Amino acid sequence: MKKTIIYIRVSTENQTVRGISLDNQEDRCKSYCLLHQFDNIEVISDKGVSAKNTNREGFQKMLSMIKKNEVGNVVVYSLSRFARSVKDTLSVLEMLNKQKVNFHSLSEAIDSGSAVGRFFLTTLSAISQYERELTSERTSSVLQYKKKQGYRVGSVMFGFDLDIDGKSLIKNQEEQKTIKIIKDYKKKGLSFNEIAKQLIDLKRNNKKGKCIWHKTQIIRLYNRDYN
């Protein structure tokens, strides 16, 4: 039989505030479970931890149980006890939905198994999607404006750096040297895999400043026209 998880949490600054103590949350959630005839109940708590921290121990334990398909219901006193941001809340709720776990929040009267609860979650999802699209549109507008002004947008190819004016490219001498090494090794008959190993042995860095090279990177740099 799958478990019903009662998740309760208080942060350091409001542990003693009347109405949201751990004991109060637990009592109210248990009453809700009794009313709805939920059994096989396990209480998981996080004490003195902010909702901003999704890595809190109890919260992660609950998520682990959900992923293992051990949970049928999650009951919380309020969404604020569960997660702080819409993004975090929606991310977890989407996982609950995928695992076919019903979510119940007493303060907001949310029951994901009901039509009203599903409507609320759909609305929450729509708001989150709207915010993402709005951010994307703003980013696109800024990039288009910079492009019209002659500024370079996007990544800079290996072998070059962006000049201080933000518009023109200048040669990166160290990266140009790496390109020459690749060309020279290829003339000697080395395979792309062998060249990658040679660059690592020579401690040549890639564009991200890491000494990590793969066959596909070498092929791309070898075939690129740098004129």
pTM equals 0.53
- Tens of pLDDT, residue by residue over 114-124, are 888 778 777 77
Catalytic residue IDs: 11
- Tens of pLDDT, residue by residue over 152-193, are 767 888 998 888 877 788 899 999 999 999 999 999 999 999
Helix (H, G, I), strand (E, B) or coil at 77: coil
Look at the chain and report how many structural domains it folds into. 2
Residue 138: CB atoms within 10 Å? 10
Q: What local confidence, expressed as pLDDT, does residue 16 receive?
A: 46
Give the contacts of 51 (CB within 8 A, at least 6 positions apart): 9, 11, 80, 81, 82, 83, 84, 88
Answer with the one of 88, 112, 136 that is the final residue of a domain: 112
Is residue 219 in some structural domain?
Answer: yes
Is residue 78 in some structural domain?
Answer: yes
Percent of the chain residues past pLDDT 90, beyond the cut: 44
12 confidence band (pLDDT: 50, 70, 90)? low
- 84 with 171, same domain: the answer is no
- Domain hosting 181: range is 160-223
Average pLDDT over residues 16-23: 66
Q: What local confidence, expressed as pLDDT, does residue 121 receive?
A: 73
- 92 with 164, same domain: the answer is no
Q: What local confidence, expressed as pLDDT, does residue 175 receive?
A: 93
- CA–CA separation, 141 vs 41, rounded Å? 51
